[in-house]
Structure 1
Amino acid sequence: MFTFLFLLLPIFDMINGFLVVGGYISAGGLASPSQLGRLIATAILLFVSYRYKLNIIWAVIVVYPLCVEVIAGFIHLNDYGFLFGVMSSYKLIYLFFMCLVLSFYCQKPADISLLAWFLKLNLLMISCSLVFSLITGLGNETYGYGFGTKGFFASGNGIGVYMGVCSLIMLGFKQYGLYQNVRSSTLVFFAIATAIIGSKTALVFSLILLFLLVWYSKYRYLAMIITIILFIWGLPKLIEVFTVVFDIVIKRYELSESLLAFLGSGRVNFVEEALDIFYGQESIVTRLIIGSGAFLSFQNPLHVSAYDTLETDIFDILFMYGIVGVTVYLLFFIRLTFLLKHYVIFLLAAVLLFIHSLVAGHVIFNGLSVFVIAILRVLGRYLSQSQTSRDYNVRKVNNFKEN
Structure 2
Amino acid sequence: MSRATQHDSGLDRSIGLWQLVFYGSGTILGAGIFVVVGEVLGVAGALTPFAYALAAVVAITSALSFAEMGARIPTAGGPIDYLERAFYIRWLGSGAGWVLMVANTVSAATIVTGFVAYLDSFASVPGWIATVGLIIVLGGIAIAGMKESSWLMTVTTIIGITALLAVLWALRDALMAFPGALLSGPAGDTGGEAGAVAFSFGFDGFGMLFAGAILAVYSFIGFGDMAQTAEEVRDVKRNLPRAMMISLGIVFVFYMLIAMALVGTGAFDIIAGASAPLVKAVELAGWPGLPIAIASLFVIVNGALTQIIAASRLLLDIARDSRGAPAVFAMVNGKTDTPIPATLVIVALVLLLALLVPLKSLAETTSFAILIVFLGVNLSLIRMKWRSQPDDVPDIPVFVPVIGAIASAAAIIGQIVQFGFGVVA
Q: TM-score, normalised by structure 2?
A: 0.25
Higher relative contact order (CA 8 A, sep 6+): 2
Q: TM-score, normalised by structure 1?
A: 0.26
Larger radius of gyration between Structure 1 and Structure 2: 1
